[in-house]
Structure 1
């Protein structure tokens, strides 16, 4: 079994020997006493853990060394150690990417081995999670559909169950949840997968042009109709017609669409020859069609004709399990689009933070946020890179707590767990953050 590797960057030989003695023979060690040697050793030794004296011999040099390690994009955990009780520099080191810090004046002989073990354990979990995410992305990504959550897996299962039928599908869900992506996936799994996928946004075309766009026209059908023009119904022959924002369809067009779906035939504008309507219709809307029916804004008979296979796509906030895979997917796509040779390092705290946001704009908002972050910083992405407007999003924690009737004891324990996980399960740092003693923390971390 390969030993975990520890690089000790320390200009004092006595402390180098102490670290090795305290950490026993469970690890493989390498030692450096200056920055240049440390850089070379880091790249050749590829350590799992770095114990770095922050004064090499000055704090400024130690921070530069830390910046170099972080910039290499590895998952090595850096524990900075200083002989000074200077919390400001230690905290600055954590902001720059250090896993934790320790003071030589503390009970380092007993605490350092525990801190290293926790760092190794956290690193192992992160590596396992990355491997699992990669496996899930390979296994649960179809036609650009990310399906880690049970809700999305259920949608993909329904698509598989209905892929051999040409019955209409009605996609509903908030704006930005990925309705067109699902529509394309349905087409790719359908009987007409090798035929055209034709998409049209009902809200983007004026009413007086929409009928012509759908039905097409004959030569001379109206002033300016110099040539025959096939409509979208015709262009989607044997394939799929995707009607987005169908809730915006004018009532006059709704009646004509209903007839096409019932009769499976239509006429071009100005035409006298019937044309077979042989396509599968997928309609989508972010509006409540039953509510529109009650307001006489949507035909009830058309709704029932469309709603043969209903698919409700949940908002992103209801399927946070998809967010880490979506982050990975969008960053990979961004790097390929802009020919980035190296993929930026993504801090786990960032993934956890983004997974807890509401994302009122859903997948579209998440994608645009990641693009903004990558434009500014393409090396390492952390919480500090999150745009200010995203950081200021309303946190529903208290509202959800009220709805679920949580007690004050429940909230205290939940917040302790939140801080504990945010600080990489470092009990010492959690106690400092919460300003409580160790015994109180252990009590609050106990499962009810």
Structure 2
């Protein structure tokens, strides 16, 4: 049975006990599908694929790649962003509020998506203050729930039922598809699981947020960061590895920029969270595996149409030029993958260059070179013959002028013969009569 975790850990609390109340437990049955959802980032009034890990009714974690970030890790154009909320209560508050401020993690790398995290400040109009707990000991979690929240109608604030899937297993290919994951295993979760995009059902996108599950407790644990996509297109890729930033090690940093400490959760009081105010990933660098591209940010802007790639994303890292082993594409399929998900183990020939395309290129390129060489030789010979003929004509005409002059002085002598136009190059042109305009076969591969 799928675990429905929408609106998890959202409950009204008094400000005086905001950080002392125990984690509220929720039932995990399908009957919970209608409970509150969470938060989504809007840009220019349109929903994005960027979900929020809600901290309080005024604060949330978000992926830094969802914002326009300059070289100094400052978020630009904040006035274009809003937050859609369906959380808190009772009563449940559905609202859209403006973003007041965004603080990007100083260790964020917009190329590798290391430390891809930001804190978003806004001001909910909820009548009662509320807060969520963030997990600080992920090692104890028995399972994970990946969730995708979305709006069916932004203007009227109608929320779709969330897409949910659970599973703890990381795919074996996660390390090979991303050196960041291999170097920071405690800071990233990885899954091949995807769900249908709410704005383009022909495409699949990653889940937006991940919850940790222990006993009957569910707690916010990780937030979507980026994906390694084979072929660079979610709409047709046969293999996608999606990475989620584990929030626990960034709590200390967030506490340095927010008014009150974040409320945290651990079932037995243990914590593995970092005490470093400036915590960041080990920023490992290596060529991206052949055939893969890193994609992050607002995926709806890139795949928001029934025709893929109609909108260009600013968060696209090109494929690396150094070859890497691709064997894990077929050997590391997620055994828990439900049918219908994108994470199939095989790579079809429509993705990248298959064997047939490689063979075709290896044959057609040399043929094209030969054809171009023959055509160049043909035109060169034509030009050379024309030049020789022109030179011959000039000499004959001069000779004729001399003869005419002589005839003026001696009119009784026979006139000079007309000049002859005989080629002097001595080359037999076996391509004469060839008309490239009528010889379409020269261009066939």
The normalised TM-score by structure 1 is 0.21
Larger radius of gyration: 2
| Structure with the bigger percentage of strand | 2
- Higher relative contact order at CA 8 Å, sep ≥6: structure 1 or structure 2? 2
TM-score (norm 2): 0.21
* Structure 1 or 2: more helix by fraction: 1
